[in-house]
Every structure is written in structure tokens, then in C-alpha cells.
Amino acid sequence: MTKRISLSNTRPAWLKGVIAINDDLKTAAADAGLDPKLLELLKIRTSQLNGCAFCLDMHVKDARKIGETEQRIYLLNAWREAGVYTEQEEAALALADAMTKLSETQDVPEDVYQRATAAFTEEQYTVIAWAITIMNTFNRLNVTSHTPVPA
């Protein structure tokens, strides 16, 4: 793979801003009563869709550290058929898929939005949508820069 300019290293202040939002999301998620495992599942799923090996490696490890099961991590690619996720998790995963694939769909379908807002409070929905947005940002930075997976 060609070595590329690291977008994170050339503008560290900008990266710090994205990291600050991400850190604030962790606090907001806890305050909203969201399970940290849900956020890791969303980060993994978003990274799968974007093909970000660096983020996949990081968030699979993070999910394991907080007790997520191997089965649920492995089945994320087939979450709709797996039968191992809660209704809330499925609603959040559907939102992650829709938000991450905006270039294909041009919209978050109404049924996906309705399902997510029925499963979560407004505060929880907001945190989830922002978490997906920030994960997409990290994925795009790392994929574009060919950020290597740590050995």
C-alpha cells in the first residue's frame, strides 16, 4: 500500500477537536443511560461498512475489554439475520447503516428514523447519531491516509 499523508498528523489541532467531541460523547452516552457496548457495536459496524481496518482493530479490542461477546462481534456483518441483538441495538444498527450509506441512499429512510426514535429517548438518539457521525469521520481520515493497523 502506498504511504500517504497522514491527515491526523498534519492538522493535529483539528484531530484534537474531533477527539474532544468523541470524548464528550462517551460522557453524554453514560449520562443518557446508553450501554457502552452499544456504542462499540456501532463503531465496529460503521468501520465494517467503511472498510477501516485501523478502527475495526481498535473497536473490536475495546468491545472485548468491556465484555462484548465474540459471537456478537462476529455476527455484526449479518446483524439483521443474527437474532442476537436487542430491538434497541437493531434500531441503532439500522441507523448506523443508513447514515453511513448516505452516498448510496441520499436519505435516512423514514422507517429507520421512526424505529430509532421509538427505541431511544431524544437525548439517546442524538448521542447515537453523533457517535455514528464521528465514527464516519475517523473512518474517512484513516482510510484516506492508509493508517496502518498496529502490530
Q: Predicted confidence band at 35 (pLDDT cuts at 50, 70, 90)?
A: very high
What grid cell was written down for 113? 428514523
**Whole-number Å distance between alpha carbons of 50 and 40:** 15
pLDDT of residue 5: 84
Q: Predicted confidence band at 144 (pLDDT cuts at 50, 70, 90)?
A: very high
Longest dimension (CA), the chain: 45
pLDDT of residue 77: 97
What grid cell was written down for 50? 467503511
> How many Cβ atoms from other residues are within 10 Å of residue 66's Cβ?
11
Q: Mind listing the domains of the chain with CATH numbers? A: 35-141 (1.20.1290.10)
**Whole-number Å distance between alpha carbons of 29 and 24:** 9
> Where do the DSSP E strands lie in 4-135?
none
Query: Comparing C-alpha atoms, which of 47, 57, 150, 63 is closest to residue 100?
Result: 47
Q: Predicted confidence band at 151 (pLDDT cuts at 50, 70, 90)?
A: confident
Cβ contacts of 111 within 8 Å, gap of 6 or more: none
Q: Whole-prediction pTM value?
A: 0.94
Q: Predicted confidence band at 70 (pLDDT cuts at 50, 70, 90)?
A: very high
Q: Predicted confidence band at 9 (pLDDT cuts at 50, 70, 90)?
A: confident
**Whole-number Å distance between alpha carbons of 86 and 133:** 22
DSSP conformation class of 77: G
